[in-house]
A and B are shown apart, each in its own frame.
Chain A
Amino acid sequence: MAYSNKVVDKFEKTLKDPEAASVGRWKPGDADFDKVGTGIVGAPACGDVMKLQIKCDEVDGVKKIVDAKFKTYGCGSAIASSGQLIDMLKGKTIEEAKEICNQEIVDILELPPIKIHCSVLAEEAIKKAINDFESNDDIRKHNQ
């Protein structure tokens, strides 16, 4: 298990202060829950489950990710990859977030080849969360 210091740092910071690392959840009934998109990827039997939530709002006429939270079950690099994804998301417009590619996470965290699937999982999580937000948004518009 030859992890870079970056993975170890990210992992340890997440454990020590989960709130500061954006660990958490929005659940139905919370204020603004209609602005939240959720993406859950992975499976317990495979040893990785990532749950990403993004909160989006219109800022200066464009839809932006104003906040994000996650919870991850998985190895150290899966947890670090989720935290890294969160850092990359905040403040981005939805269109910008769609462009996020797993390779960026691999590069920043210096993930070993055998752990690249953790970054792929993170990319899938953001895609799924955006998808969820957009389909909810369509329903909302339709109902208005």
Chain B
Amino acid sequence: MKPIYLDYASTTPVDPRVVEKMQDCLTFEGDFGNAGSRSHSFGWKAEELVEEARLNVANLVSCDPREIIFTSGATESDNLAIKGAAYFYKNKGKHIVTSKIEHKAVLDTCRQLEKEGFEVTYLDVDEHGSISPEIVKGALRDDTTLVSLMHINNEIGVINDIEKISEITRDKGILFHVDAAQSAGKIPINLEDSCIDLMSFSAHKIYGPKGIGALYIRRKPRVRLQALFHGGGQERGIRAGTLPTHQIVGLGEAFKVAKQEIDSDFKKINSFKTKLYDGLKDMEEIYVNGDLENGYPGIFNLSFNYVEGESLIMALKNIAVSSGSACTSASLEPSYVLRALGRPDELAHSSIRFSFGRFTKEEDVDFTVDLVKTSVQQLREISPLWEMYLDGVDLSKIEWAS
């Protein structure tokens, strides 16, 4: 059997409606032209398709299409927003504020800026993983030029109050960048009504193709960025490089479909999360990582104490999920996001992220509940920690060898 896919936060399959549109932009019979060719109809047609896609993106997040530029993905958008703003406004100040549970695309970019002489404050999160507007406010300094925070966290699904935070940053004249890779098309975003200055998007997290993303750059008040790529002056010189028509059309169509289906997708996904949690919540020693009530239901992270996550993934072999366990990472470090919640390391090792999406079926969730229960029980049967727990031993009082 084909495994059940519950890893939508990692990537999504491309929606067939999107594939259809993309196919029309590749071959000689299709619209293969270069949107930069101003001298013939091939170029004009490609430009028309690119502009239609730009409008689709703008419509989903309520902004002006002229505020959207295309990039190779959310990682590039994060790099361009953070480095681009940091460099452009460096004479105003060299302090940046972000959080400890950002995606690596933001954290590594900030680390790089630190090497270049910028100063970065990494905010702590509360026990659910959210960042309060007050904490952001308290970290702002006279030389702060940029705050960068994510909308929905990719590991635990916690949602930040970006509207409220944007009012604080605007009030202080500081730019606010939001990584919306996990939230665009999943929960409503209204840029017109907020004071957000920069926002990163990805196509492949919402049923579009990999290798394409977008960056929102506010026009009023105008936000300036220093370009990172130089070349043919595309995207108003902010991001040079031939526009990949088929990729952009795919992104646009994915955003258009997302706008149509955002409510029905959410409702369905929310019912799956409820079903999964109802099926598992009576198990002993399980912990929700994130915000059970207010988190995004498509990313649901649970720790099964006394069972190591990678072994649980191996036992759940017909289900595709991911874990914050060290053993699934190349670095052999458990998830920094889960550690930032202040829980003991062993709960990070024991975590599984269930991520539902548009193509998840109810029977997939039923199957998952049954298999998780059986597998956790089997693994606890062979776990010395479970044995100690049943014997009433306090594991935190033991002096472990290594």
Q: Residues of A at under 8 Å CB distance from B?
A: 1, 3, 8, 11, 14-15, 18, 23, 25, 40-51, 71-76, 78-79, 114, 124
Contact = CB atoms under 8 A, between A and B. Distances in A.
Contact of B383 (A8, A71, A76): A71
Given A73-B385, A75-B308, A79-B311, 15 more contacts: A1-B313, A1-B328, A15-B315, A18-B381, A44-B395, A45-B344, A45-B346, A46-B400, A47-B327, A71-B382, A71-B387, A73-B383, A74-B311, A114-B330, A114-B332
Interface string B345-381: 1100100000000000000000000000001001101
Contacts of B328: 1
A33 B93 CA distance: 70
Interface in B291-312: 306-308, 310-311
Interface in B378-402: 378-379, 381-387, 395, 400-402
B400 A42 contact: yes
A15 B379 contact: yes
Contacts of A124: 401
B310 A42 contact: no
A12 to B, nearest CB: 8
A45 B345 contact: yes
Contacts of A3: 314
Main secondary structure of the interface of B (DSSP, over half): helix
A45 B308 CA distance: 11
Contacts, number: 94
B382 A15 contact: yes
B400 A43 contact: yes
Contact of B310 (A1, A51, A72): A1
A43 B399 CA distance: 9
B12 interface: no
Kindly name the residue among B310, B313, B332, B386 whose own CB sees the greatest number of chain A CB atoms within 10 A: B310
Kindly name the residue among A25, A48, A71 whose own CB sees the greatest number of chain B CB atoms within 10 A: A71
